[in-house]
Amino acid sequence: MKSSLTGLLLVLLTTLLAACGFQLRGTGSDAFALRELDLKARNAYGDTVKDVRRALENSGVRVHGGAPYQLVLVGEGQKQRTASYTSAARSAEYEMTANLAYEIRGNQLTLLRDQVATQKVYVHDSNNLAGTDQEAERVRTEMRRELVQQLLLRLQQLSPAQLAELQETAQAKAEAEAKAAAAARQAAPATPAR
């Protein structure tokens, strides 16, 4: 009797959570509204751009040069600092921070500029330098994977309609800047030289 009541309560709770839209992280729909995207990076053969390309293709996004929008990985950075010290004033833990700046471009205009970042701490063992180096490399790889995941989550939120609206705004801004520059050039010769 008690186990059937517990089972019924569990089913009821699960149904209630699903009905209100709750889902575990990573189990939701990973469908992209964008079906095609061009991918560029400063380091075109680096691990990050390879991981992003693979993740996009695995999500059903066609990555090719003729796509209407371009994802540009502008810069990737890593910083490391000492997070704690031993009693002998040696570094005991290091804090690593990694960030990835990116832009979305359309018709040679920047539509969106943002960055993703992640942070990790690892232990430095002065008695096992080889192990510490391996741990640092593992943390770097894990951080790169997290950056790619965060980038994909941001890209999933973009729809073609949003990008079209951003494109119109960027186009209007570029035209206004061009008109202002032309007006400034016309006004410059009218000013007498001294």
Give the β-pairing of 36-41 and 69-85.
parallel
Give me the pLDDT at residue 193, please.
Answer: 57
The token pair at 173 is 């801004």
Can you give the pLDDT of all 194 residues of the chain as single tens digits? 777 888 887 887 788 777 776 666 555 555 778 889 999 998 889 999 999 999 999 999 999 999 999 999 999 999 988 878 777 766 688 899 999 999 999 988 899 999 999 999 888 777 777 777 888 899 999 999 999 999 999 999 988 888 889 888 888 888 898 898 888 888 876 556 55
pLDDT at 190: 57
Burial of residue 137 (number of CB atoms within 10 Å: 0-12, 13-18, 19+) = exposed
Say which CATH topology domain 31-168 has.
Double Stranded RNA Binding Domain (3.30.160)
Sorted by where each begins, the domain ranges of the chain are 31-168
pLDDT of residue 8: 80
User: What pTM does this model have?
Assistant: 0.73
3-state SS track over 106-162: ECCEEEEEEEEEEEEEEECCCCCHHHHHHHHHHHHHHHHHHHHHHHHHHHHCCCHHH
Provide the strand spans (E) within the chain. Answer: 36-41, 62-63, 69-85, 91-106, 109-123
